[in-house]
Structure 1
Amino acid sequence: MEFDGEFELDGVPPEKAWVVLSDPIAVRDSLKGCQYITPMDDSFEWDSYEPEDDIPTLPEAEADDVAARAFKTGQKYAALMQVGVGSVKPKFETTVTIEDRDEENFEMTATGSGSASGSSFSMNSGMRIHPQEDGDGSRIEWWTEADISGRIAQLGGRVINPVANKIVNNFFTSIESQMTDVEETDSGVTDRIRGMF
């Protein structure tokens, strides 16, 4: 299945959008059903991992902390996602690898796969942040190609597509709110963080 779209963030320039969308904690907090996103290695254990709560994001977070935890090319991340599709509400143990981060063009691509009881998926996804054509904000272009199997796949696109669109719309609405908070603070903070990537 293929999903793609665009989202406009008024008054948030691409360099600020890039900093917030590079922060796994900001992404986690904006992604409904996501319990955590954390770097993982070969010894990571899903059953015993305990995520930290109440980790500050911008503008409250320290610039050094945000830069240190930013998504890194080649790094694998563990993400626990619970997604309700119809009467099915599985928890997906998902592994995501950041394939590329293009700081110049504000583009990031990732691959991932996940499984839950009776369902699994694999995906290729990405996003690119463009300046708005008529304004000082950002236009975010995003895309995902996913292979879905099992119980969720049996529900078909008629059920899956509206759920996917709702998740994406909720995500960008929440991200926009976070970015507005950042926008109202000293713009030097995001510039400094970008310099640390």
Structure 2
Amino acid sequence: MNFEGEFELDEVPPEKAWVVLSDPIAVRNSLKGCQYITPMDDEFGWDTYELEEDVETLPEADAEVVAARAFRERQEYAALMQVGVGSVKPKFETTVTIDERDEEEFVMTATGSGSASGSSFSMESGMHIHPQEDGDGSRIEWWTEADISGRIAQLGGRVINPVANKIVNNFFSDIEAQMTDIEDTDSGVTDRIRGMFG
């Protein structure tokens, strides 16, 4: 299944959008049903991971902390997602790898897969942040190609597509609110953080 779209963020320039969308905590907080997104290492265990509560994001968070936890190219992440599709509400243990993270062009791509009781998926996804043609904001192109199998796949596109669109729309609306909060504070903070990205 293919999902794609564009989203406009008025008065949020691409460099600010990039910093917020590079923060796993900000992404987690805006993604309905996502319990955590965390880097995976040899010690990680789905059953033993302890969720971090009340983690500060911008503008309250320390700039160095936000830069240090930003998504990294070729890093593997664990994400626990609960998605309600019809009467099915599986909790997906998902592994995501950041394949590309282009700081200059504001492009990020990822691949991943996940499974839950009776359902599984694999996906390729990405985003590209452009300056708005008319205005000072951003235009975000996003896309996902997903191969879904099991109980959820049996529900079909007519059930799955509206759920996916709702998740994406809620996500970008929440992200825009976070970015507006940053816009109302020190405008130099996102520039400082971008300079810290390794």
Task: Report the TM range for the smaller structure's normalisation.
Answer: over 0.9
Cα displacement (A) at 1:43: 2.9
For 1:101 and 1:183, the matched residues in 2 are separated by 24
Q: Does 1:19 align with 2:19?
A: yes
For 1:38 and 1:19, the matched residues in 2 are separated by 17
Residue in 2 that maps onto 1:129: 129
The SS at the match of 2:5 is strand
Within 5 A, what are the aligned runs for 1:105-124? 105-124=105-124
Within 5 A, what are the aligned runs for 1:165-180? 165-180=165-180
1:154-195 Cα deviation digits (max 9, x unpaired): 000000000000000000000000000001111111000000
> What is the identity percentage for the equivalent residue pairs of Structure 1 and Structure 2?
85
Cα displacement (A) at 1:44: 1.3
Residue in 1 that maps onto 2:186: 186
For 2:134 and 2:45, the matched residues in 1 are separated by 48
1:136-164 Cα deviation digits (max 9, x unpaired): 00000000000000000000000000000
For 1:29 and 1:44, the matched residues in 2 are separated by 21
1:23-68 Cα deviation digits (max 9, x unpaired): 0000000000000000001331101111110000000000000000
For 2:94 and 2:3, the matched residues in 1 are separated by 18
The SS at the match of 1:165 is helix
CA RMSD of aligned residues (A): 0.5
1:107-139 Cα deviation digits (max 9, x unpaired): 000000000000000000000000000000000
Give the alignment's TM-score, normalised by structure 1.
Answer: 0.99
Unaligned runs of 5+ in 1: none
Question: What is the total number of aligned residue pairs between the two structures?
Answer: 197
The SS at the match of 1:3 is strand
Residue in 2 that maps onto 1:56: 56
Cα displacement (A) at 1:3: 0.2
For 1:99 and 1:80, the matched residues in 2 are separated by 20
Deviates more, 1:22-31 or 1:36-45: 36-45
* Residue identity in the other structure for 1:191: D
Q: Does 1:29 align with 2:29?
A: yes
The SS at the match of 2:164 is helix
Q: Which runs of 4+ in 1 moved over 6 A?
A: none
Residue in 1 that maps onto 2:66: 66
For 1:189 and 1:128, the matched residues in 2 are separated by 22
